[in-house]
Amino acid sequence: MTRFDRDTAVTSLGADRFQGRIDRGWWIVSGPNGGYVAALFLRALAARVPGERAPRSLTVHYTAPPGEGAVEIETRVERVGRSLTTVTGRMSQQGRLVALGIAAFSTPRSGPSWHHAPMPEVAPPEACESFPSSIPIHERFDYRWAVGERPGSRAERALLGGWIRSAEPRPTDAPLITAICDAWPPPSFSVRSRDDMGVVPTIDLTVHFRCTLPLAATGAGEFVLAVFASRVAEEGFVEEDGQVWSRSGVLLAQSRQLAVIT
């Protein structure tokens, strides 16, 4: 079992309640990374759904930063349809609400398909520089810089990303993709320095899983390409859009989050 699996594991406390633990190894500045918290949340919501129904959408609203230690997740199956199940949850710590979540799970459905989101052309991960570790969460992943400008570069566009994989080889499943969708530094750091921006805590994070995971062609320990961009910062808030592709060019997930500029 990898550290990611241990640190996102949940245990049942009854029919609809689960317990997890927030680990300091996923800290950013003054609290845990939002993608890590969302991955732990997804574990609990997915436990209420048959395995053949894969995650399709996850949204988490962060109401307060959790501290290190145990959290309880109370879940509710809102509806079970012929192919789609909707589950909601409340994560609390010592009686304080820290996050709300909602997820949709479904079997694959037939319908038209098109792909108008091409994978960026970048150098392979073996030819890209490693991203230096500066906070605990950076030690949980292997980063290779490939897109945009470095934080603090005062670039013209808030765009960054590159290749990323778990520091310990494991399948690229939905919980790991959830964490990856918030694992890179905010792209807003590319257009302003860290001193200008302060911390950028997430208000909400949505992940759309665009295929059933893990993808058979993506083996344990394989890099995926994650690219993030922000277009508008106004009145103390900034959005971030992300896309994650397999090395073979399959779009695995899309993400969007709104964050506060402190």
pLDDT in tens, 183-206: 999 999 998 766 666 778 999 999
The total number of residues written for the chain in this structure = 262
pLDDT at 101: 98
Cα gap 235→229, rounded to integer Å: 18
Please state, in angstroms and rounded to a whole number, the distance separating the CA atoms of residues 33 and 244.
Answer: 18
Q: Which structure tokens are listed for 213?
A: 């995971």
Q: How far is CA 122 from the centre of its chain?
A: 22
Please tell me what DSSP assigns to residue 99.
E
Which residue is it, tokens 């053949």? 52
Q: What single letter denotes the amino acid at residue 158?
A: A
SS3 assignment, position 195: helix
Helix, strand or coil, per DSSP, at residue 190: helix
d(CA 116, CA 135): 35
Phi-psi region of 37 (alpha: psi -120 to 50; beta: other; left: phi over 0): alpha
117-152 pLDDT tens trace:
899 999 999 999 998 888 999 999 999 999 998 888
Give yes or no for a contact between 68 and 24, defined as CB atoms under 8 angstroms apart.
Answer: yes
Spatial separation of the C-alpha atoms in residues 125 and 67, rounded to whole Å: 34
Lookup: tokens for 11: 């245990």
Tokens encoding 99:
């996050």
Instruction: Indicate the range of 40-49, 167-176, 218-227 predicted with least confidence.
Output: 218-227
pTM given for the model: 0.95
Which of 163-167, 170-174, 183-187, 191-195 shows the lowest per-residue confidence on average (mean pLDDT)? 191-195
